[in-house]
Amino acid sequence: MASKALCIGINNYPGTANDLSGCVNDANDWAEELTRRGFAVTQLIDNQATRAAMIKAIGGLIDGAGKGDSLVITYSGHGTWVPDSDGDEPDGRDEALCPYDLASKGALIDDDIHDLFVRRAAGVRIILISDSCHSGSVTRGDEADLDPGMPRVRFMPPQAWMKGTLPPLALSAVAPRGGFTRAGGDLLLAGCQDHEYSWDTSFHGRPNGAFTYYALKTLREIKPTTYQKWFDAIRTYLPSTRLPQSPQILGTRKPRSFKVLK
């Protein structure tokens, strides 16, 4: 049984005025932790993370996996949405991840992710950790590590990269669920709920995504044994006053009870 991971981090978005600061650190931090846990890790950083490269890397990871293998995909960058073109979205929009060449090649929409994920062999576990998205409001959580004057949102407004007139739709979180099966070993950990933002910020003078920072902090300090316990630990920090994002976990009881990053 093999353990493989792909860690994607994109700070630089040419052709837009929406660069980020903590996503590359996120990808490097995830890669370090996963390597320490025995995963064979591949990374796509900034200009490496083109739309074509993301599709090739995710597809290659899935196509090369067999029964009993564990795959972890982490994504830190902007999320966005595009008008739905095939009528499969009740809200009229497809949620999407933003590759480096977003302005010229477009987004990686949830339909694309679905087409990649359904290629996996039976018995392959996929854990997707997405630190991107959208904004709500609650007040609690421990902010002792957070630097003053932060954060900024990890949402790319469609108007920043798409040409033409967009339909008057409310903006949405990017929780790329396409291709996931509730009957199998799939799990999604996302930085926030629908209609919220994930935040790009700084801790002790070092840029990071809020969700990634607290996910790794709790993983190392609390050492949770299951994904559900890990998620519960993250929720002691988020949402907070300056970080109004509510992380979410998507998956059935079985994958929630799996040992963390095994």
Strand partners, 82: 94
Among the options 23, 98, 133, 192, which is catalytic? 133
Indicate if the alpha-carbon torsion angle 70, 75, 76, 81 is positive or negative: negative
Task: Decide if 119 contacts 62 (C-beta within 8 A).
Answer: yes
Q: Is 195 a catalytic residue?
A: no
Burial (CB count within 10 angstroms: exposed 0-12, middle 13-18, buried 19+), residue 219: middle
Strands 125-131, 70-76: parallel, antiparallel or unpaired by DSSP?
parallel
Alpha-carbon span 262 to 260, nearest angstrom: 6
Among the options 78, 98, 134, 192, which is catalytic? 78
User: Phi/psi at 231 (nearest 5 deg)?
Assistant: -60, -45
User: Phi/psi at 11 (nearest 5 deg)?
Assistant: -95, -35
Active-site positions read 78, 133
